[in-house]
A and B are shown apart, each in its own frame.
Chain A
Amino acid sequence: MKILFLFILIFHISHVNADEIYNLIKIPNLEIYKLKNDNNIRYLSTKGNFKIGVNKNIACDKVNINNLNSKFPLIEKNLNRYNSNFLNKIKLKYVVLCENLFISEINTGGIPDNKNRTLILDINFNKKYFERMIHHEIFHMIQNTHNKYFDEDKFSSFNPTSFNYAECSTCSNRLNLDLYKKTNGFLTEYSKSIPSEDMAEIFSFLMTDKKTIKDKIDNDKVLSNKVNFIKLNLAKIDKNIL
Chain B
Amino acid sequence: MIKTIKPSKSEKILFLFLICLSIFAFTSFFLLKNKCLFVEKNNLTNLNFNETNNIVVMNVECGNVIIELYPDISPKTVERFKFLIEKKMYDGSTFYKVSENTFVQAGDIEYGNINNLDYSKIGSGKSGLGLLKSELNKDFKFTEGSVGFARTTEFDTEDSEFFITLKEIPIYQGEYTPVGRVVYGLDILTKIKTGNKAIYVLRPDYIKTFKLLSSN
Report which A residues bind B (CB closer than 8 A): 12, 15-26, 32, 35, 42, 115-116
Would A115 and B153 count as touching, CB distance under 8 A?
A: yes
In the complex, number of A-B residue pairs with CB atoms less than 8 Å apart: 41
Interface positions of B from 67 to 103, Cβ below 8 Å from A: 97, 99, 102-103
CB distance from B3 to the nearest CB of A (A): 57
Taking A18-B99, A20-B169 as given, write out 19 further A-B residue pairs in contact, using a Cβ cutoff of 8 Å, ordered by the A residue number. Answer: A15-B197, A15-B198, A16-B198, A18-B197, A18-B199, A19-B102, A20-B99, A20-B165, A23-B99, A24-B171, A24-B172, A25-B153, A26-B153, A32-B171, A35-B170, A35-B171, A42-B171, A115-B154, A116-B153
Measured in the bound complex, the distance between the Cα atoms of B198 and A12 in whole Å is 10
Measured in the bound complex, the distance between the Cα atoms of B111 and A6 in whole Å is 36
Residue among B165, B175, B195, B196 making CB contact with A24, cutoff 8 Å: B175
Residue among A17, A23, A26 making CB contact with B197, cutoff 8 Å: A17
Measured in the bound complex, the distance between the Cα atoms of B165 and A23 in whole Å is 12
Residues of B contacting A17 with CB < 8 Å?
Answer: 197
Against A, the Cβ 8 Å flags (1 = close, 0 = not) of B150-187 are 00011000000000010001111001000000000000
| Chain B binding surface, main DSSP class | loop
* Residue of A12, A20, A21, A26 with most chain B CB atoms under a 10 A cut-off: A20
Would B102 and A20 count as touching, CB distance under 8 A?
A: yes
Measured in the bound complex, the distance between the Cα atoms of B97 and A12 in whole Å is 19
Would B103 and A23 count as touching, CB distance under 8 A?
A: yes
Residues of A contacting B99 with CB < 8 Å?
Answer: 18-20, 23
* Residue of A18, A24, A115 with most chain B CB atoms under a 10 A cut-off: A18
A-B contact pairs, 9 of them (CB 8 A): A15-B198, A16-B199, A17-B197, A18-B199, A20-B102, A20-B165, A20-B169, A20-B171, A116-B153
Residues of A contacting B153 with CB < 8 Å?
Answer: 25-26, 115-116
Measured in the bound complex, the distance between the Cα atoms of B195 and A16 in whole Å is 11
Measured in the bound complex, the distance between the Cα atoms of B172 and A17 in whole Å is 18
Would B170 and A32 count as touching, CB distance under 8 A?
A: yes
Residues of B contacting A115 with CB < 8 Å?
Answer: 153-154
